[in-house]
A and B are shown apart, each in its own frame.
Chain A
Amino acid sequence: MTRYVLKRLAGAALVLLALSVLVYALFYLAPGDPARLACGERCNPRQIAQVREQLGLNEGVFAQYAHFLQGVFVGRDYSTGTSVVRCDAPCLGLSYQSDQQVTQLVLERLPATASLALGALVVWLVVGVGTGLLSALRRGGPTERILTVLTLAATGTPVFILGLLLLMVVCAYLQWLPFPTYVPLGENPEQWAWNMLLPWLTLGLFESAKYARLTRSSTLETLAEDHIRTFRAYGVGERAVVTRHALRGAVPPVVAVSAVDLGYMFGGAVLTESLFGIPGLGKTLLDGVREIDLPVVVGVVMVMGVAVVLAGVVADLLYAAADRRVVLT
Chain B
Amino acid sequence: MTAPTDTSAPVAGIPATGAARQLLRRLRGRPAAVVSAGVLLLLVLLALAAPLFAALEGQDPYAYHDDLVDSARGGVPYGSFGGVSADHWLGVEPGTGRDLFARLLHGARVSLLVAVGATAVQVLIGVLVGLAAGLGSRWADGILSRITDVLVALPMLVLAIALTAVVPRDFPRPLLLILVIGLLGWAGTSRIVRAQTLTLKSLDFVAASRLAGSGRWRTARRELLPALAAPVITYAAISVPTNMVVEAALSFLGVGVTPPTPSWGQMLSTAQTWFRADPAYVLLPAGLLFVTVLAFTVLGDAVRTALDPREASRLRVGTRKETSR
A: residues with CB less than 8 A from B are: 14-15, 18-19, 22-23, 26-27, 29-32, 148, 151-153, 155-161, 164-165, 167-168, 172, 203, 206-207, 210, 213-214, 217, 257, 264-265, 267-272, 274-275, 282, 285-286, 288-290, 292, 294, 297-298, 300-301, 304-305, 308-309, 312
Q: Are A271 and B154 in contact (CB under 8 A)?
A: no
* A contact patch SS: helix
Would A156 and B297 count as touching, CB distance under 8 A? yes
| Among B73-81, B116-124, B189-197, B311-319, the stretch in contact with A | B311-319
A-B contacts, 21 listed (Cβ < 8 Å):
A15-B149, A26-B163, A27-B166, A148-B314, A158-B290, A160-B248, A161-B289, A206-B323, A213-B316, A214-B317, A264-B322, A264-B325, A267-B155, A267-B158, A270-B161, A285-B158, A285-B161, A286-B255, A297-B165, A300-B158, A300-B162
Contact of A294 among B158, B165, B289 (CB under 8 A): B165
Contact A272 B162 (CB under 8 A): no
Interface positions of B (Cβ within 8 A of A) = 146-147, 149-150, 153-155, 157-159, 161-168, 241, 245, 248-249, 252-255, 265, 268, 271-272, 275-276, 279, 282, 286, 289-290, 293-294, 297-298, 313-317, 320, 322-325
Question: Which 10 pairs show the lowest CB-CB distances between chains A and B?
Answer: A30-B166, A156-B294, A289-B165, A172-B276, A156-B293, A161-B286, A269-B325, A158-B245, A168-B275, A267-B158
Residues of B within 8 A of A300 (CB): 158, 162
Bound Cα distance A213, B323 (Å): 15
Listed residue (A19, A289, A292) with the most chain B CB atoms within 10 angstroms of its CB: A289
- Give the CA-CA distance A172 to B281 in the complex, in Å: 14
A-side contacts of B167, CB under 8 Å: 30-31
Q: Closest CB-CB distance, A2 to chain B, in whole Å?
A: 23
- Contact yes or no, B286 A165, CB < 8 A: yes
- Does the CB pair A164–B155 fall under 8 Å? no
Contact B289 A308 (CB under 8 A): no
* Given known A-B contacts A161-B268, A172-B276, A217-B316, A270 and B290 have beta carbons under 8 A apart: no
**Residues of chain B within 8 A of A257, CB atoms compared:** 317
A96 to chain B, nearest CB (A): 12
Instruction: Give the A-B contact count at a CB cut-off of 8 A.
Output: 152
Contact B158 A160 (CB under 8 A): no
A118 to chain B, nearest CB (A): 14
A301 B276 Cβ-Cβ under 8 A: no
Provide the residues of chain A in CB contact with B282, threshold 8 Å. 164-165, 168
Known contacts A18-B146, A270-B157, A304-B155, A155 near B297 by CB under 8 Å: yes
Tell me the nearest residue of chain B to A285, going by C-beta: B161
Decide: A160 near B164, CB < 8 A? Known: A271-B325, A309-B153. Answer: no
Q: Is the pair A288, B294 in contact by a Cβ cutoff of 8 Å?
A: no
**Hey, which chain A residues are within 8 Å of B163, CB to CB?**
26
Other-chain contact of A155, B159, B265, B315 (Cβ < 8 Å): B315
Min CB gap B315→A, angstroms: 6
**A155 partner residues in chain B, CB cutoff 8 A:** 297, 315, 320
Chain B residues with Cβ below 8 Å from A151 are 315
Q: A18, A152, A203, A210: which contacts B298 (Cβ < 8 A)?
A: A152
- A289 and B249 contact, CB distance less than 8 A: no
Q: Is the CB of B168 within 8 A of A289?
A: no
- Residues in chain A near residue B315, CB distance under 8 A: 151-152, 155, 213
